[in-house]
């Protein structure tokens, strides 16, 4: 089974500062990588995903993540955070893409990002 490690449980950062949320996974076989975000009182939403191709993937709200196979990492970054980015962020690994038949997702423990005005 896969394991996903999010080293930082809580990350406070000032508004407009950069942020990196770390994610490492265990498996060396082909995997698909995801970042989900959960805003207060809402469900988990897909933020971005790596399935294949370019190792750098971006979301519509300025986040990006880079798949690093040698380091088995998929860290999430944003150069300048906003108050509205305050949320819980979950890294997940799957043995199949979300667009395919359902596969088991393995989640990290989550990182709570708090943006300070």
Nearer to another protein, 3 or 114 (CB): 3
State how far the alpha carbon of 100 is from the alpha carbons of 30, 32, 51, 103, in Å.
15, 11, 11, 8
Q: How far apart are CA 89 and CA 113, in angstroms?
A: 7
Contact residues for another protein (CB under 8 A)?
3-4, 9, 36, 38, 41-46, 90, 98-100, 102, 104-110
Smallest distance, another protein to C-beta of residue 78, A: 21
Smallest distance, another protein to C-beta of residue 13, A: 21
């Amino acid at each position: 089974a896969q394991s996903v490690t999010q080293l930082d449980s809580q990350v406070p950062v000032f508004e407009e500062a950069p942020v990196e949320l770390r994610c490492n996974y265990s498996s060396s076989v082909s995997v698909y990588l995801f970042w989900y975000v959960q805003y207060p009182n809402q469900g988990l939403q897909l933020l971005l995903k790596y399935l294949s191709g370019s190792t750098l993937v971006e979301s519509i709200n300025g986040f990006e993540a880079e798949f690093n196979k040698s380091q088995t990492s998929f860290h999430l970054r944003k150069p300048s955070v906003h108050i509205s980015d305050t949320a819980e962020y979950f890294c997940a690994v799957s043995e199949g893409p979300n667009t395919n038949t359902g596969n088991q997702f393995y989640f990290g423990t989550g990182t709570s990002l708090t943006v300070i005005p």
